[in-house]
Every structure is written in C-alpha cells, then in structure tokens.
C-alpha cells in the first residue's frame, strides 16, 4: 500500500459513517475523504462541502459509485441495517475494502453471502464492533489471552440501555420496527455485547442458544392515565412525564440531535420554535412512547453454550435510569469484573490463607495510561477502530481487537439464533447454520 493517506468514500452519510470519517480531520496524513454516496441530496451536499468534494464524486447510490472506475481505497459503509449487504456487494466487486457498520447482515443466508463475497474478491471487511477497541474491553481481553484467570468457565454480560436511548432508537425511532430496519433490538443494539462474548472465548464455536424477552413496557395499555398521542399536541400530563419529547429533545438540545432533527436538516441552525413545530407536526420523535407502532423487545435474556462446555449469558434491559455495560468473567484460576463506564475492573484470585478469602487487584485505566488514544464515542473505541482498520488495509498485522468479518460471524449467529429461540420458545442448535462448525466439532 502506498505511503500516503488512504482515500475513502462515505456510503450512507448518517451519524455513524460521519463519525468514522471524522478521523480524516484529526489524522489527515492517514485518511482522506474523497467521495460520498447517499440517497438524500442534502446529506450529499453537507459531505461535499465538509470535504471539498468535486460533484463527479458524489453519488445517489452505492451501485452508482461502484459502476465508475474505483477512485478510493476503502468505503465507510454506514447505511441502515437492511442495506448493508445490498450496498456492500457491488463495492466489494469494484475492489473497495470495507469498514462496515454493525450488524453487517440481517439474516444467516445474507451473512454468508457477504462473507463469501469478501473471500472471493480478497477484500478486507472490518465490522464496526467498536467496543473491542475501548480501553476497558481491550485490557480485559489481553488478560484473558494471557491466562490471568485460567480457562474460562462462564461469561456474564449486561447492557442497561438508558431510557432516553430506548425511546429515541427503539420506540420512536428507526430501529423500533423490524419491518423497517429488518433487525431485532438484540441485533441492532446488543450485537456489540454478543460479539464481546464470542471474542472473550475466541476460537471456540457456540453450539446452542436459548432466549427470552418481550415488549413489556412501551405498550398502549401501559400508558399513564390521560396520556395523549403526541407530547406537545394533546397530552395534559406532558409536564410530569419522564418521556416527554420536550424534556428529551428540547431541554437536552444536543442529545440525539442527529436523529431527532433530520426532518428539519434543510433549515440552517433551526430555532427552538422550529424544533417545537417539528415535534408538534409529523416528526416521529414527538409521539407518546406508549402509543407508537414499535414492535421490538424492550428486554431480553440470552443463554449460550460453547462447544467446550463454557456457558455465557447476556441480559439486555431497555429503559434504565443510567446506561451501563458490565462484564464478569469467571475462570479456573480467578475472575474479572467491571463496568465499562467506570473505566475500571477488578481481578480476583482465590486466597485460602488463614484470615483471607480472595486477593483483589483493581485496574483503573484512567491511572494506568491505557486511555491513550481513546476519544470519541463508545467508551473511546470509535477512533481506535478506524486506526486499526487502516493498519490492516495497509498490510500490517491484525491486532487482538481486529474485527474481520469472519471473526464477527459467531456473534451474529448468536444473535440470529437467540431471536429464533425467543420467537419459537426453544433451544436453537447452531450447527446447521454454520457450515464450518461441524468440521470444528
């Protein structure tokens, strides 16, 4: 690969793709944005202005981009979930390496189709499992790999999705209906956590999955007495409601602004009055959270068994007061437990000496220097992900965190299988969904 910045095109100029593309502003010697493809003209115009792009490098679709001679090294694909595979296939055929947002597919057959295409065209496809790159999870994975807690016995992961994230993404927003985004909440939100479970026990296939969950809270019959259908139009209890659109999106103007105000993007610096009018009109984020058309779960539990007998669980709960991700690993020689948002975890070992029960080492990443290079969202993992992807494309050795597409298969299979188990009220065996699994067993 030439010793120059790698050239990239943005495909789907949404929040995630633009976040990764921002690496070009802080590290211009490593990455340069040279094109964009997006079906929304104003999004194309914004990217064109931001990166001074010529008109001939701005396209309405990924297919249009792929049809012209390749003029960049990589594509940053941040389209919606159901668009990932259809947009990625022509880009791979055109010769682009891909940094692809998760989940990279919405079903098993589609997943294998993309894996096979990456193999056939010999292109690097890295999946945006950014949590692998956070100082918290990377440091834990390094200790697991070093045998600090011996052989794994059990993995316990928990994700508490905040009430405002739940409302904006999975009740009022783009991921609230499977018929639209074609992803379940488990795959749209917690495939990060399923990937982490698979990564912590990398190299060992999962063999069976069970799962339970439902949409329990955000339903019309659970609406407070007297609640209207739109917060700022017909709701007499809006002032006292914890899910008031005014409280979520006006009183917190920067929170989720990229999603909530997309219908008024054409207004340069919209005023409070513009935003209030939007919420009173047809803006979906102005709806009562109990009277939307959402059909995804708001809580789900997953139980997993690996081929070597190791077990794992994931509990995802939407609507928590405080957003947190926690992890507890138990091994034959010790355990590791911590919360990502604290940037801190504890390593414990058995200590049978008189007067003792266990020894404990506290690892505070804010004091160890491990936070270096960690900035941006997802616990500091966003920009580290981009940095690692560029190194892989340049031919450097993959890091422990590298999220190659084939290494992301197990986590996706866990999610697809868990949702099937939940719907069908049974344990799902993974062998029939993974052609290579039978040989490994």
Write out pLDDT tens, residues 296-341: 999 999 999 999 999 999 999 999 999 999 999 999 999 999 999 9
pLDDT at 371: 53
pLDDT at 1: 56
Asked whether the domain spanning 131-218+295-372+405-440 has the same topology as the one spanning 6-123, the reply is: no
pLDDT at 439: 43
pLDDT at 53: 98
Is the distance from CB of 155 to CB of 329 less than 8 angstroms? yes
pLDDT at 437: 45
pLDDT at 347: 98
The fold for domain 6-123 equals Rossmann fold (3.40.50)
Give the residue ranges of the chain where pLDDT is below 70. Answer: 1-2, 369-379, 432-441
pTM exceeds cut of 0.75: yes
> CA 408 to CA 428: how far, in whole Å?
19
> CA 104 to CA 405: how far, in whole Å?
8
The residue extents of the domains of the chain are: 6-123, 131-218+295-372+405-440, 220-286
One of 3.30.200.20, 3.40.50.410, 1.10.3720.10, 3.30.360.10 is the CATH number of 131-218+295-372+405-440, namely 3.30.360.10
pLDDT at 143: 97
Helix 377-393 to helix 135-145 angle, to the nearest 10 degrees? Answer: 60
> CA 182 to CA 295: how far, in whole Å?
11
pLDDT at 262: 87
Cα radius of gyration (the chain): 23
> CA 67 to CA 79: how far, in whole Å?
18
| DSSP per-residue codes, 334-376 | -EEEEEGGGTEEEEEEE--STT-SEEEEEEEHHHHTTTTT--S
Helix 108-121 to helix 84-94 angle, to the nearest 10 degrees? Answer: 10
């Amino acid at each position: 690969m030439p010793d120059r910045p790698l050239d990239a095109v943005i495909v789907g100029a949404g929040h995630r793709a633009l976040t990764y593309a921002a690496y070009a502003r802080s590290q211009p010697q490593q990455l340069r944005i040279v094109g964009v493809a997006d079906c929304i003209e104003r999004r194309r115009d914004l990217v064109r202005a931001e990166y001074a792009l010529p008109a001939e490098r701005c396209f309405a679709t990924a297919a249009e981009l792929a049809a012209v001679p390749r003029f960049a090294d990589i594509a940053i694909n941040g389209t919606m979930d159901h668009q990932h595979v259809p947009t990625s296939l022509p880009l791979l055929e055109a010769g682009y390496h891909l940094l692809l947002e998760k989940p990279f597919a919405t079903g098993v057959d589609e997943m294998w189709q993309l894996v096979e295409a990456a193999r056939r065209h010999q292109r690097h496809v890295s999946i945006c499992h950014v949590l692998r790159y956070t100082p918290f999870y990377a440091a834990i994975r390094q200790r697991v790999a070093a045998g600090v807690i011996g052989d794994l016995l059990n993995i316990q992961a928990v994700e508490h999705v905040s009430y405002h994230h739940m409302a904006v993404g999975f009740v009022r927003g783009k991921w609230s209906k499977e018929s639209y985004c074609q992803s379940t909440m488990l795959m749209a939100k917690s495939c990060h956590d399923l990937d982490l479970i698979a990564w912590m026990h990398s190299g060992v296939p999962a063999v069976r999955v069970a799962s339970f969950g439902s949409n329990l809270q955000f339903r019309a019959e659970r609406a407070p007495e007297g609640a209207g259908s739109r917060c700022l139009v017909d709701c007499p209890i809006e002032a006292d409601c914890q899910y008031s659109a005014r409280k979520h999106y006006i009183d917190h103007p920067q929170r989720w602004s990229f999603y909530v105000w997309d219908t008024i993007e054409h207004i340069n610096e919209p005023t409070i009055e513009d935003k209030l009018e939007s919420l009173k009109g047809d803006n979906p984020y102005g709806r009562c959270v109990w009277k939307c058309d959402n059909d995804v779960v708001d809580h789900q539990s997953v139980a997993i068994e690996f081929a070597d007998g190791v077990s794992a669980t994931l509990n995802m709960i939407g609507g928590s007061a405080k957003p947190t991700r926690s992890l507890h690993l138990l091994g034959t020689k010790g355990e590791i437990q911590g919360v990502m948002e604290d940037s801190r975890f504890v390593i414990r070992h058995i200590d049978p000496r008189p007067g003792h029960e266990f020894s404990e080492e506290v690892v505070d990443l804010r004091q160890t220097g491990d936070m270096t290079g960690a900035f941006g969202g997802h616990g500091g993992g966003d920009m580290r992900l981009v940095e690692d992807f560029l190194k892989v494309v340049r031919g450097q050795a993959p890091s422990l965190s590298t999220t190659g597409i084939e290494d992301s298969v197990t986590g996706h299979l866990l999610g697809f299988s868990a949702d099937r188990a939940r719907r069908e009220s049974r344990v799902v065996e993974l062998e029939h969904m993974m052609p290579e699994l039978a040989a490994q067993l």
